[in-house]
Structure 1
Amino acid sequence: MLPPRQSDSNRNAITPLLLSLYLLLSACAEVQPLETATEESPPLAKSPIENTASKPQEGEPRAFPIDTFYSLLVAEVAGIREQYDVALANYYHQAEVTKDAGVAARATRIARFLNARQAALRSAQLWVNLEPKNASAQLALTAELTLAGDIPNALAHAEEALKLGGKAPLQSLAATAIGHEKLNEQISAEFARLAETYPGNDEVTLAHAMVLRAEKQFKPALTLVRRIQENHPDQLDAPLLQSHLLVDLGKRREAIELLEKLVSVYPNETRLRLQYARLLIREDLALARQQFAELVNQRPEDGNLILSLALIHYETNQIDAAKPLFSKLLALKQHQSAAHFYLGGVAEKQGEITTAVTHFRQVEPGNDYVEAITKGTKLLAANALHDENEQWFTQLRQQHPKQEEHFYLMEVELLRKNDEPQRALKKVEQGLLAMSHSGRLMYTRALLNDQLGNGSAFERDLRILLERDPENATVLNALGYKLIDDDSRREEAFELISKALQLEPEDPAIIDSMGWVQYRLGNYAAAEKYLRQAMEKLPDHEIAAHLGEVLWVQGNREEALKVWNDGLKINPQSKIIPAAMKRLQIKESMEQHASDN
């Protein structure tokens, strides 16, 4: 759960949640690749069949064979009935049979409308072959080649469209090229050549600037877009790209000021306001919230914008404003998992445990899935709702059989942390019945038995693990450390820890164990050396307790107290350090009393 803000100030530090929002919105403000469909409505509803066929040069209508005419008539009727797959099949087939440019054009448009990529590409290629001087044909083929990832050929046909007076979508083509693998020199050189060939074409210049930006040539790219903006101040793609370049150059404030002016002049230009709002997330959350509110007002069913505004409200602890926005996403069936996740968070903040868990359980696999499980099961465990937790974990193990071990361990750890060691032990026993091969479950059972004072069961499991894997440094160290307290087995403990240290010489936990066993063997100098080394590698309250004790018994009381105090700063709730201090002071007091008598 994110902590509430102290104030709604204009300068807010960015948090992980807002960073995710920032990354989510980055794509929205960029120039997007070519759309897969260019028709807003079915193309069949617009053109009667008599206009379908191309006309011969002499201007006379071309007569189709009766079979072709019948097939095209069926296609038109199918289109009227919205049976577009039938229409496409007929037109696509007749385009191949008749080699007629009009039929090929019709087939291309239908295929593109249906996102039938292979059919659209073949039809467009046929159309260009039949009418190479048709700019629309060249543009259609450019789009399909771009979607197919054939950037070099797409560029070639885009240039043909330019020669014919068409408006080639080079910005989209550049965006697609950049989104593929690293731009090679040939593609980059082609964009540069086109920019030189068509210096007055804004589309070409902007595409070249995009490529330069991808190559991190920010200053040359900025020069190009500024030139466009000076010559054509109403061309809004240029300042949008300019804002990205300014950010690239570390001039975020200048980019914000540019967009602020543009938004005031073009208040309904969503792309400009979105980029402005996106940049404000890092600088001014209150103003960013205002911009997103206006965007949602302009596009009330845009899930991305609703989610963005809801997240800002959530982040600034304006729960009452965030909640209806997340609920609206559920009603719109957009970003449903994210909506459930944050509605769970809202309910958790409001103390509605059952509602929170209900939402967390509806989060689908994806970005928030693991955290939703973690949050929901923690809530259930903290409120001693063990049956509900067990039911959820059982369901998770059934849904994700490959993660069965993970969910057993997660459930056991929750029970352990909530002071339910007996329940935890019972659950790990259940897991081992299902997964007897699991070393992690067996090691967890050993630790639980140790916590419950079942020393023989603890050692039994560790011995089994060592039989399976004799060079498991973690298990060797755990068993060795446990045996240190047994005077009769201290040499055995030393051997186990020595072997573990040979296997993992840089592990601070094992180094600490070696220091502690040396101390218990009476080798104070060696103990101090190892414990100082462990403390340097991993400042930890338990290591501090050990090092302080070694220093204390050697008479270095002042440094011992400092080490203990440093350990308590690391973990103010430490029970080990106060226990060591009390034990040593009592021991010293008793020794002094005996000496006096």
Structure 2
Amino acid sequence: MMFSCQSWLLFHPVGQETSATPNHAFPNEPRTRMKSGYSGLLMALLGCWLVAGCSHHSPQPDRPVIPVELAEPLPTDTPDTSPAPVAADAEKPAETVKSRAFTRDTLYSLLAAEIAGSRQQYDITLNNYAQQALITRDPQVAERATLIARYMNANQLAGETALLWVELSPESDEALANAAMALMQAGRATEAFEMSRRLQEKGKETLFQSIAANAADLTPADRENLLGLYIEQLKQYPEDEQLLIGSGLLLQMSNNFEGALKQAVLARKLTPESVPASLLEATLLHQLKRDDEALARLTEILETNPDSIRLRVQYARILAHNDLEAAQEQFRILSEQSPQDGDFRLSLALIALERRDMDVAVAAFEQLLDNNQHLSTAHYYLAQIAETRQDETQALLHYLQVERGKDFIPATASLMNILIRQGDLLSASEHIDRLIKATPDEADNLQLLYARALINHNQLATASRILDRALSQSPDNTHLLFARAMLFDQMGQSEQAEQDLRSVIEKDPQHASALNAFGYILADRNERLDEARELIFRAYSLRPEDPAIIDSLGWLHFRTGNYSEALIYLRRAFNLYPDDEIAAHLGEVLWVINEQEQARTVWLRGLETSPDSDIIRRTMERLQVPAP
């Protein structure tokens, strides 16, 4: 049995505000979403379902109007950078509309889809519409399937239904625009480009810039192919800003900064006030290490676009590489322009902290707490500031509020150091136990962290018990084994240290730190130097730029009497990382070869970074060098 509704105007959602014009933000900015009060399609379906064979041109006045949740956008936690779904062509006179006939099953499926939408069961809505778009090949059903799929970020399905919509309505600008965007979001850049090319041929707005901006995830070969399409299209439209910027972006992604800059400069010359062109030009100048020119370009364009957030953000970021004070001022302006943007305020706080402008930093971090933004990061840095002000009580309060994330482990380590320094081992132990119960998957890391904090404060016996307990639960954890080996070496228990290091290397033959530590221990004791050489060279082959391994290699050469080679490696290590241990080694070699003034200079440099260095003091005492 067939049901026929003569007017497809009833199938068009009413009350919509749409924009078929793509947004050309660089790279993207929020776009206006579709707004609808009720679904005309649902009203039509209800009318046809309740009155078999109806041919009304409008719904009955007393027929109930059922709202559809899909008519309004879902709330999101982040700004929506996708464009508004583009509605079908504007309302057309009823007499121009062709009638369409749907089967009972189709009507039931579409009615169920609309009701599911009103109940926020959007997966059912999307599934039914996508299925019926293929079955009916009706352009209006394909359109709505596309809008729903894009609304739900079902990008691949949106691309398929959008292509069907274009096939069924090849002259529809809205179909082409939606297809271009849907295909772009699905990662099908070449097909998206073709849709935009067709729009350009019709004199309509295109998405060339956005397509290029979203091409970062393409393979190099696919990006090169896409660039070829841009270059070919530029032959016909050599002054098209979107094509110029798009090709510039693609060249930039291929690290062809000079070629990309040429495209950006040409686009700006053709459109002097173009924000995207100026942004791309400034970014490329920065990448080419021509920051003075980049800043000059941004300064100039900001004078005519002082309210442009994107321009000021890039200006502030480049300034952060050159002038922290000026960068801080720009992030202050950005925070005032967008007071609810936590990222701007966090940048302001971090730059102020870097500049030791503590009052500004504290105020910015506290504002983040007031706004419920970046809470853990704000607490972490406020705790660090409190520590520098010797307010350990305040520091503890902030560290305790850092939740799991990138700041969690360093915050916990700092908290442990405070408690152990205060002699409150009971609170430290209880806190670690609470954390382990709350986050059992982090148990090994937390116990390792606790043991290291104990070692830092010379609580070696307690640290040994913690590591023993942890290894009884995770005997194959190489991090725990390596930490215990280093603790054994520090406690003078060389046999136990060697046993743990052998276990680490057996479990992980590529463990460069264990190879280096084992080799260094042997070289430092002047024992089994052939074995030490093999171990250190294996570590060096794995991490040839590691200053600790380079130091071990230099110390090995010293032990074997090869002083010239020892100096080469130890100087290299000291230049990479001038810590007190490397300074002690380099100074000793220099002293032995009668370069005593150089030796003193090196030791003094080591003491500048570590005034209480025990290893430099012991070395100088052993060599009978007068204290500086």
The one of 415, 420, 424 equivalent to 1:385 is 424
- Aligned-partner Cα distance in 1 for 2:623–2:326: 60
Residues 261 and 115 from structure 1, CA distance in 2 versus in 1: closer, same or farther, beyond 3 angstroms? same
Deviation at 1:405, TM superposition (A): 4.6
Matching residue of 2:585:
543
Match of 2:268 among 229, 242, 249: 229
Partner Cα separation in structure 2 for residue 512 and residue 373 of structure 1: 35
The whole-number CA distance in structure 2 between the counterparts of 1:115 and 1:392 is 43
Q: Is the 8 A contact 2:590 2:596 kept in 1?
A: yes
Matches within 5 A, 1:264-275: 264-275=303-314
Greater shift in the superposed pair: 132-141 or 459-468: 459-468
Query: Which residue, out of 26, 35, 40, partners 2:33?
Result: 40
Q: CA deviation at 1:515?
A: 5.6
Supply the distance in 1 between the matched residues of 2:122 and 2:504 (Cα, whole angstroms).
64
Answer yes or no: is the 8 Å Cα contact 1:133–1:164 preserved in 2. Answer: no
Residue 291 to residue 46, structure 1, CA distance change in 2 (3 Å): farther
User: C-alpha separation between the residues in 2 aligned to 1:466 and 1:200?
Assistant: 68
Q: Cα RMSD between the aligned structures?
A: 4.2
Asked whether the 8 Å contact 2:155–2:183 carries over to 1, the reply is no
Q: Is the contact made by 1:134 and 1:164 (CA closer than 8 Å) also made in structure 2?
A: no
Please give the residue correspondences for 1:360-379 in structure 2 after superposition, counting only pairs within 5 Å.
360-379=399-418
Counterpart in 2 of 1:19? none
2:523 touches 2:532 (CA, 8 Å); kept in 1? no
Deviation at 1:250, TM superposition (A): 3.5
Offset of residue 235 of structure 1 = 3.1
Aligned to 1:499: 531
1:117-266 superposed matches below 5 A: 117-182=155-220, 184-266=223-305
Contact in 2 for aligned 1:75/1:91 (Cα 8 Å)? yes
Residue 559 to residue 75, structure 1, CA distance change in 2 (3 Å):
closer
Deviates more, 1:312-321 or 1:411-420: 312-321
Which residue identity is paired with 1:428?
L
Comparing both chains, which one has the higher relative contact order based on Cα–Cα distances under 8 Å and sequence gaps of 6 or more? 1
Q: Quickly say closer, same or farther: Cα 1:363–1:193, change in 2 above 3 A.
A: farther
Q: 1:62 aligns with which of 96, 99, 104?
A: 99
> Percent of pairs identical after alignment?
28
Q: What stretches of structure 2 of length at least 5 have no aligned partner? A: 1-23, 45-57, 59-87, 541-548, 575-581
**Structure 1, gaps ≥5 residues long:** 1-28, 485-492, 519-525, 587-597
Asked if residue 99 in structure 1 is aligned to residue 137 in structure 2, the reply is yes
2:219 aligns to what SS in structure 1?
coil
Q: How many aligned positions are there?
A: 529
String of CA shifts for 1:497-524, please: whole Å, max 9, x gaps: 44323443576547747866x8xxxxxx
Q: 1:101 to 1:533 in 2, by over 3 A?
A: closer
| Paired residue secondary structure (2:183) | helix
TM-score, length-scaled by structure 1: 0.74
Structure 1: which amino acid aligns with 2:26?
A: V
The separation in 1 between residues aligned to 2:482 and 2:129, in whole angstroms, is 67
The Cα offsets for residues 137-191 of structure 1, whole Å up to 9 and x where unpaired, read as 1121111211221222221122122223321111110011234332543211101
Q: Which amino acid aligns with 2:377?
A: A
Where does 1:270-349 land on structure 2 (aligned, <5 Å)?
A: 270-349=309-388
**Are residues 402 and 59 of structure 1, via their aligned partners in 2, closer, same or farther at CA, if it must alter by over 3 Å?**
closer
**Alignment correspondent of 2:544:** none
- Structure 1 residue 56, shift from structure 2 partner: 12
1:417 aligns with 2:456: yes
- One-letter amino acid matched to 2:203: G
- Residue by residue over 1:48-69, the C-alpha shift from the partner in whole angstroms, topping out at 9 and shown as x without a partner, is 6569899899824424447455
Q: Are the equivalent residues in 1 in contact too, given 2:177–2:206 (CA < 8 A)? A: yes
Kindly provide the amino acid, as one letter, of the partner of residue 246 in structure 2.
Answer: A
* Contact 1:568–1:574, Cα closer than 8 Å, also in 2: no
1:432-511 counterparts in 2 under 5 A? 432-436=471-475, 448=487, 458-459=494-495, 462=498, 494=527, 496-504=528-536, 508-509=551-552
Please, which moves more after superposition, 427-436 or 165-174? Answer: 427-436
Q: 1:280 to 1:395 in 2, by over 3 A?
A: same
Cα distance in 2 for residues equivalent to 1:256 and 1:460: 59
